[in-house]
Amino acid sequence: QSALTQPRSVSGSPGQSVTISCTGTGSDVGGYNYVSWYQQHPGKAPKLIIYDVSKRPSGVPDRFSGSKSGNTASLTVSGLQPEDEADYYCCSYAGDYTLRVYLFGTGTKVTVL
Amino acid sequence: QVQLVESGGGEVQSGTSLRLSCAASGFTFRSYGMHWVRQAPGKGLEWVAVISYDGNKKYYGDSLKGRFTISRDNRKNILYLQMNSLRTEDTAVYYCAKDLEYFDNSDYFDYWGLGTLVTVSS
φ, ψ at A3 (rounded to 5°): -60, 150
**Position A97 pLDDT exceeds 80:** no
From the list B63, B69, B65, the residue with the least C-alpha distance to B83 is: B69
End-to-end, the C-alpha distance of chain A in Å comes to 35
In contact, A73 and A91? CB cutoff 8 Å: no
The span from the CA of B60 to the CA of B48, in Å, is 6
The region, left, alpha or beta by phi > 0 then psi within -120 to 50, assigned to residue B62 is alpha
pLDDT band for position A57 (cuts 50, 70, 90):
very high
From the list B119, B99, B122, the residue with the least C-alpha distance to B11 is: B119
The span from the CA of B87 to the CA of B78, in Å, is 25
Which chain A positions have a beta carbon within 8 Å of B45's beta carbon?
38, 40, 46, 89, 91, 104, 107
**Position A90 pLDDT exceeds 80:** yes
Residues 6+ apart with CB under 8 A from B110: A48, A57, B97, B98, B99, B100
Average pLDDT for residues B51-67, to the nearest whole number? 91
Which chain B positions have a beta carbon within 8 Å of A89's beta carbon?
44-45
What percent of chain B stands above pLDDT 70? Answer: 100
**Position B63 pLDDT exceeds 90:** no
pLDDT band for position A1 (cuts 50, 70, 90):
confident
- Under DSSP, is residue A83 helix (H, G, I), strand (E, B) or coil? helix
Are A105 and B106 within 8 A, CB to CB? no
- Best of B107, B114, B116 to disrupt the A interface (most A CBs within 10 Å) is B107
Q: Which of residues 37-96 of A touch B (CB under 8 A)?
A: 38, 40, 45-48, 51-52, 57, 89, 91, 93, 95
From the list A8, A19, A5, the residue with the least C-alpha distance to A108 is: A8
**Position B65 pLDDT exceeds 80:** no
**Position B66 pLDDT exceeds 80:** yes
pLDDT at A2: 87
In contact, A6 and A107? CB cutoff 8 Å: yes
List pLDDT tens digits, range B83-98.
Answer: 999 999 999 999 999 9
State whether residue A7 sits within 8 Å of chain B by CB.
no
A107 to chain B nearest CA, in Å? 6
- A57-66, A78-87, A97-106, B16-25: least confidently modelled range: A97-106
B26 vs B62, more confident:
B26
Can you state the percent helix, strand and coil of chain A, rounding each to 5?
Answer: 5, 45, 50
From the list B104, B119, B83, B47, the residue with the least C-alpha distance to A92 is: B47
**Position B106 pLDDT exceeds 80:** yes
**Position A14 pLDDT exceeds 90:** yes
pLDDT at A109: 98
Count of Cβ atoms closer than 10 Å to residue B116 Cβ:
21
Average pLDDT for residues A77-81, to the nearest whole number? 97
pLDDT band for position B104 (cuts 50, 70, 90):
confident
Closest partner residue to B109 among A48, A52, A105, by Cβ? A48
From the list B97, B92, B95, the residue with the least C-alpha distance to B120 is: B92
pLDDT band for position A19 (cuts 50, 70, 90):
very high
A55 to chain B nearest CA, in Å? 12
pLDDT at B87: 96
**From residue B73, how far is each of B34, B79, B88, B111 by CA, in Å?**
12, 6, 29, 19
Closest partner residue to A104 among B45, B57, B113, by Cβ? B45
Residue A92 host element (H or E)? strand A86-93
